[in-house]
Amino acid sequence: MKKILALLLALVMVVALAAPTAFADDPMEELIAAAKAEGELVVYGSCEEPYLAAACQKFEQLYGIKTSFQRLSTGEVPSKIEEENGKPSADVWFGGTNNPYDALAAKGFLEPYEAINDVHLLSPLYKDPNNYWHGIYTGLLGFMVNTEELEYLGLEAPETWDDLLKPEYKDLIWLSNYKTAGTPKLVANLMIQLKGKEEGIQYLVDLDKNVQVYTKSGSGPSKNVGIGQCVIGIGFLHDGITQIVDNGYDNVRLIVPKDGTTCEIGPVAIFKGAAHPNAAKLFVEFALSPDCVELADDTGSYQFLVIDNAEQPAVATEFGLDPSLVWEGYDFARAVEETNENVEAVMAAIEAAGSDVGEDRFQTS
């Protein structure tokens, strides 16, 4: 009996010693408490405004943290943060394309954070290796065309990047501004990787001859295809789905270029020097959860989601826009290193060719 009692006593002691570990505070609960103590969060968003607004309102509703936001393009945010030089007026950056995030991280303006919810990411591709940003969605780069306008003009739709250089497409193509949007940065990286540096830059100079307008925002071309102001728009194809499904433009056709394409990764990141660092970390965790990303489908944003516990927008699958269609040779790490250099080289070459680079054509507002 004494032996049994001794064993029971030892077992009780083991359980008692283990209890603090077994019932230790949940790190998420600790983060929530710290974030609530700060009581406020400011978000810069580069996704579409309905999604941005819904996400910020949901975060405020869930945690009782006053959340304000401003919609800025992925070109505007780095300029603003660099001007503020370590004293950012916002805490987090939400959505857009990852190339500008990489550039801002390289200059020391993003704060690394090892997110708890990173375990749900579908691939290591969908986060920065140094935890400067974490992906929430991905979207294919391609063409959107107005089928009615093309038929009226007696033209076939382009099927490849090289098709866009045909003289009959002069003044029919819209792209976004290399200086204010992330989309054309991705286009520049893709062309240079597909064709080589010199040929890729020359391709974009030749393409410029057919471009009528460079919009401030990457989604600008897609918003003008259905109404016929833009006949051929270069951008992310989920923006085209929005025009078809939500706005009723059944004259819009989506095209994945046959000679190769790539994709954006839409991230979330914390600004270095954020006034509300714990609220910012909590927003990152929220952005990597179904509570946030499933709002996209409800607000007309049909990107593929990159976390394993969220439901994909059914409409994206219906249109056949699968991330596996990305050109296998595209080097994302190389793109991170070369983006700024590539964009500067392209703009210099376009100007040297005597192109109109004024604000009426290269829009900034």
What Å distances lie between residue 265 and 25, 215, 220, CA to CA? 33, 20, 18
Higher pLDDT, 333 or 82: 82
CATH of 40-138+264-318 among 3.40.190.10, 3.40.50.720, 3.40.50.510, 2.30.30.230: 3.40.190.10
pLDDT exceeds cutoff 60 at 35 = yes
3-class secondary structure per residue, 49-87: HHHHHHHHHHHHHHHCCEEEEEECCCCHHHHHHHHHCCC
The Cα 158–Cα 150 span in angstroms is: 10
* pLDDT bucket at 5, cuts 50 / 70 / 90: very low
Q: Please check whether the two domains, 40-138+264-318 and 140-261+323-352, share a CATH topology.
A: yes
Fold of 140-261+323-352: D-Maltodextrin-Binding Protein; domain 2 (3.40.190)
Can you tell me the mean pLDDT for 216-237?
Answer: 96
pTM: 0.83
> For the ranges 23-32, 157-166, 250-259, 325-334, which has the lowest average pLDDT?
23-32
Average pLDDT over residues 74-84: 93
Q: What would the pLDDT profile of 253-299 be if each residue is shown by its tens digit?
A: 999 999 999 999 999 999 999 999 999 999 999 999 999 999 999 99
**Confidence band for 324, pLDDT divided at 50, 70 and 90:** confident
Q: How confident is the model at residue 2 (pLDDT cuts 50, 70, 90)?
A: very low
The answer to whether 140 touches 237, Cβ cutoff 8 Å, is: yes
Q: Please tell me the distance from the alpha carbon of residue 327 to that of residue 323, in angstroms, as a whole number.
A: 10
With a pLDDT cut of 90, the percent of the chain lying above it is 84
DSSP string computed for 125-177: GGB-TTSS-EEEEEEEEEEEEEHHHHHHHT-PPP-STGGGG-GGGTTTEEEE-
Supply the pLDDT for residue 143: 98
Chain segment 107-165, per-residue pLDDT in tens:
999 999 999 999 999 999 999 999 999 999 999 999 999 999 999 999 999 999 999 99
Domain positions in the chain: 40-138+264-318, 140-261+323-352
